[in-house]
Homo-oligomer: A and B are copies of this chain.
Amino acid sequence: MTEPRWLDDEEQRAWRGFLRCYAEVRANLQRQLQRDTDLSHADYEVLVALSEAEEGRMRAFQLSDAIQWEKSRLSHQIDRMAKRGLVARQQCPTDARGAFIVITDEGRRAIEAAAPLHVEEVRRVFFDHLDRRQVAALADACHTVLDGIAALEGSPGRTGESG
């Protein structure tokens, strides 16, 4: 590599917009959750994934894969949520190493109470500003990036790998 390929104006605009947009949206969602519920965004993510899973439970590794968290982060988070009665740990019958994380009744109540308010806020800060065309374009761009990253990781062709 010689000259770095700096971002041009349009790319800067896209890049900074993307980062800032995420930050703004997330800050608003966090405030809403804090104001209206007892859940953090982390709690919310975990409970959504579990509530959508069959029997309200997943293996820890599946859950950490679904929400893309490190194992240790998830484990700490589950500790805290278990203390608050939102989830529980179960032994896995077929693999003694394995742990199921299961949503409790209280966890269900919490997510069912929170979800309508949360989705309203998602609309207020995000979708209410976008028309269908923009939504489609955004989904397209994001999923294109995700697919691209997945492909990179499939064949990690970083320059100078075996050096």
Chain A contact residue count (CB 8 A cutoff): 53
Q: Could you tell me which residues of chain A, from 74 to 124, have a CB within 8 Å of some CB in chain B?
A: 115-116, 119-120, 122-124
Q: Which residues of B contact A127 (CB under 8 A)?
A: 7, 11, 15
A146/B17 in contact, CB under 8 A: yes
A122/B15 in contact, CB under 8 A: yes
B136/A148 in contact, CB under 8 A: no
Stoichiometry, copies per complex: 2
Q: Which residues of B contact A146 (CB under 8 A)?
A: 17, 20-21, 24
A135 CB, nearest partner CB in chain B, Å: 5
Chain A residues packing against B (C-beta within 8 Å): 1, 4-7, 10-11, 13-15, 17-18, 20-25, 27-28, 68, 115-116, 119-120, 122-130, 132, 134-149, 152, 158
